[in-house]
């Protein structure tokens, strides 16, 4: 089946807020006296907030209750959301809008799918809250990537079968989720070269729409 829709992951594909996340997790870890650096931070790529917290708490000196974990996750999210006040259209990654607009001009549907519950806020900051044909985020799912749920929700909202969709992802967990959803996958950034990807590129500025539609 030919590609009729492209589903973009948000963070790392459309915009990069990795540094915002890192600083928020680092602040929380420092407050808890837990060692945290960029090496540990790489393990958080593509997974949800509670899963990320679980990685950080591996080095904690005591166990935390579920209530405490939720409070810690909420605290980190507060730090992160506060830091997004300076985010704007200038922070869009190279190629993101050019590729998205050309796809729409060719009557290819576009969606954004993110495990983050902050996705609506980020899209608003970027001025893209009304740009995509559909969106799915952390409010819509109960399972994070590599579970395919977020991409399945996005495809349903586009009104497309999974095999008619291509996912653009920068995380290994996202590529795995796309394949488990029965969708084709474009791997960009750190995920480029993933063995299960149908196409790899440094970023969206390094890929032509014709390449995507030929998959």
Residue 63 CB-density burial (10 A; 0-12 exposed, 13-18 middle, 19+ buried)? exposed
Residues 43, 108, single domain; the answer is no
The parent domain of residue 175 ranges over 5-16+89-213
Residues 123, 69, single domain; the answer is no
Report the domain count for the chain: 2
Decide if pLDDT at 1 tops 90: no
Residues 124, 206, single domain; the answer is yes
Of the candidates 34, 69, 86, which is a domain's last residue?
86
Q: Which of the residue ranges 3-7, 8-12, 142-146 would you say has the lowest mean pLDDT?
A: 142-146
Residues 12, 38, single domain; the answer is no
Q: What percent of the chain has pLDDT over 70?
A: 100
In 3D space, the residue among 25, 36, 33 whose CA is nearest the CA of residue 62 turns out to be 33
CATH number for position 27: 1.10.150.240
Task: Say what the pLDDT of residue 48 is.
Answer: 80
Of the candidates 86, 118, 135, which is a domain's last residue?
86
Residues 43, 130, single domain; the answer is no
Active-site residue among 11, 133, 137, 172? 11
How confident is the model over 71-111, as pLDDT tens digits? 999 999 999 999 998 899 999 999 999 999 999 999 999 99
Of the candidates 29, 55, 86, which is a domain's last residue?
86
Q: Which of the residue ranges 42-51, 151-160, 184-193 would you say has the lowest mean pLDDT?
A: 42-51
Active-site residue among 9, 137, 140, 170? 9
Measure the N-to-C terminal CA separation of the chain; round to a whole number of Å.
9
Number of neighbours of residue 162 by Cβ within 10 angstroms:
20
Q: How far apart are CA 50 and CA 141, in angstroms?
A: 13
Residues 57, 96, single domain; the answer is no
Decide if pLDDT at 46 tops 80: no
Decide if pLDDT at 144 tops 90: no
**Which residues make Cβ contacts (< 8 Å) with residue 82, sequence separation at least 6?**
none
11 flagged as catalytic: yes
Assess whether the previous peptide bond of 146 is cis (omega < 30° from 0): yes
The DSSP code for 196 is T
9 flagged as catalytic: yes
Residues 141, 188, single domain; the answer is yes
Residues 48, 119, single domain; the answer is no
In 3D space, the residue among 79, 76, 100 whose CA is nearest the CA of residue 14 turns out to be 100
State the average pLDDT over residues 2-31: 95
Q: 8 with 186: CB under 8 angstroms?
A: no
Residues 56, 131, single domain; the answer is no
Residues 22, 10, single domain; the answer is no
Q: How far apart are CA 187 and CA 175, in angstroms?
A: 7
CATH number for position 152: 3.40.50.1000
Q: Tokens 């290819």 sit at which residue?
A: 108
* Confidence class for position 26, pLDDT limits 50, 70, 90: very high
Residues 36, 68, single domain; the answer is yes
| pTM (two decimals) | 0.85
pLDDT, mean over the chain: 95
Assess whether the previous peptide bond of 135 is cis (omega < 30° from 0): no
């Amino acid at each position: 089946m030919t590609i009729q829709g492209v589903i973009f992951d948000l963070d790392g594909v459309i915009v990069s807020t990795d540094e915002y996340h890192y600083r928020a997790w680092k602040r929380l870890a420092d407050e808890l006296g837990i060692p945290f650096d960029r090496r540990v931070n790489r393990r958080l790529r593509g997974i949800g907030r509670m899963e990320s917290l679980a990685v950080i708490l591996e080095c904690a000196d005591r166990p935390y209750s579920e209530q405490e974990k939720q409070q810690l996750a909420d605290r980190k999210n507060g730090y992160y959301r506060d830091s997004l006040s300076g985010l704007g259209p200038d922070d869009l990654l190279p190629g993101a809008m050019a590729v998205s607009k050309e796809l729409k001009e060719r009557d290819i549907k576009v969606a954004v799918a993110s495990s983050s519950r902050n996705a609506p806020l980020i899209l608003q900051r970027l001025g893209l809250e009304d740009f995509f044909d559909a969106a799915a985020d952390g409010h819509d799912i109960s399972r994070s990537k590599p579970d395919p749920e977020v991409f399945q929700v996005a495809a349903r909202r586009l009104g497309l079968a999974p095999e008619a969709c291509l996912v653009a992802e920068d995380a290994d967990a996202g590529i795995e989720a796309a394949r488990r959803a029965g969708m084709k996958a474009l791997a960009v950034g750190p995920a480029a070269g993933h063995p299960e990807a149908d196409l790899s590129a440094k970023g969206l500025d390094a890929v032509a729409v014709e390449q995507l539609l030929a998959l």
